[in-house]
Amino acid sequence: MTVHAIIGGTGLTELPGLTLLEAIPMQTPYGPPSADIVRGEYAGREVLFLARHGHPHRVPPHQVNYRANLWALKRAGAQAVIAVNAVGGIHSTMGAGHLCVPHQLIDYTYGRDHTFFEGDIEHVTHVDFSYPYDEPLRQRLIAGLAAERYLFSSHGVYGCTQGPRLETVAEIARMERDGCDIVGMTGMPEAVLARELELPYACLALVVNPAAGKSSGVITMAEIEAALAEGIVKVRAVLARALAG
């Protein structure tokens, strides 16, 4: 039975029927992860949770220790990873509250520790990253969304920017020309590190605001927080379906 890990905010540990068993402090060769790993039991299955930005939420996207996070989850027994990401909507269908299971991504980040294969290694390793998300795991999330009858997109291109600032109108225009449908700050290098560890990985993206230039007003944190609070209820329901499936 596959042990799934969920990376996202601390609110994801509030699934109905979830029993929290323990918090596991971890040390890794890459430093400490963002937070203790929380182990729980849901529908008779072991589930692991990790708060990507720490608990409380205080680690900005460009300073998340992605290598430590993924290494710690695998060491704790994770066999697959579901990432929950708050994103901005670029495509016209991606309004606030919309859910997307991306099938591709473009990495615009820089200066992040993006591989395990460096330093004192025996040989150079190149992983195939043509399709960054695991298709069977994507399909489980899609089935969960369909069962809940939420508005969602079964495909999308995730553009990952450096942060922590939001993007300019010109940057979003460029990303749209590149083919991006949503924009976030945490999708990479998380996805490729999971691939290097041979962990199936998929993303459930919650749109919390229109991207820069996609609305008539400025983007406010109050707007983002309100959409996140409303959308996390949907995310929990989808995760419950996916984990029980």
The reply, when asked if residue 52 is annotated as ligand binding, is yes
The reported pTM is 0.94
Q: Which residues contact 233 (CB under 8 A, 6 or more apart)?
A: none
The reply, when asked if residue 211 is annotated as ligand binding, is yes
The CATH topology of domain 4-244 is Rossmann fold (3.40.50)
Which residue type sits at 226?
A
The reply, when asked if residue 28 is annotated as ligand binding, is no
The pLDDT tens digits along the chain (245 residues) read 789 999 997 678 777 888 999 999 999 999 999 999 999 998 888 999 999 998 878 899 999 999 999 999 999 999 999 999 999 999 999 999 999 999 999 999 999 999 998 877 777 788 999 999 999 999 999 999 999 999 999 999 999 999 999 999 999 999 999 999 999 999 999 999 999 999 999 999 999 999 999 987 777 778 888 888 889 899 999 999 999 87
The reply, when asked if residue 51 is annotated as ligand binding, is no
Within the chain, where are the H helices?
66-75, 135-148, 169-178, 190-196, 221-244
Per-residue burial over 170-196, b = 16 or more CB atoms within 10 Å of its CB, e = otherwise: ebbbebbeeebbbbbbbbbbbbbbbbb
The reply, when asked if residue 188 is annotated as ligand binding, is no
- Token pair of 113 as six digits: 């520790």
- Token pair of 173 as six digits: 């225009």
Residue 183: which of 161, 204, 164, 168 has the closest Cα? 161
Q: Provide the residue ranges of all domains of the chain, joining segments of one domain with +.
A: 4-244
The reply, when asked if residue 102 is annotated as ligand binding, is no
**β-strands 201-210, 99-100 pairing:** antiparallel
- Token pair of 100 as six digits: 């997307």
The reply, when asked if residue 186 is annotated as ligand binding, is yes
Work out the widest C-alpha separation in the chain, in whole angstroms.
54
The reply, when asked if residue 138 is annotated as ligand binding, is no
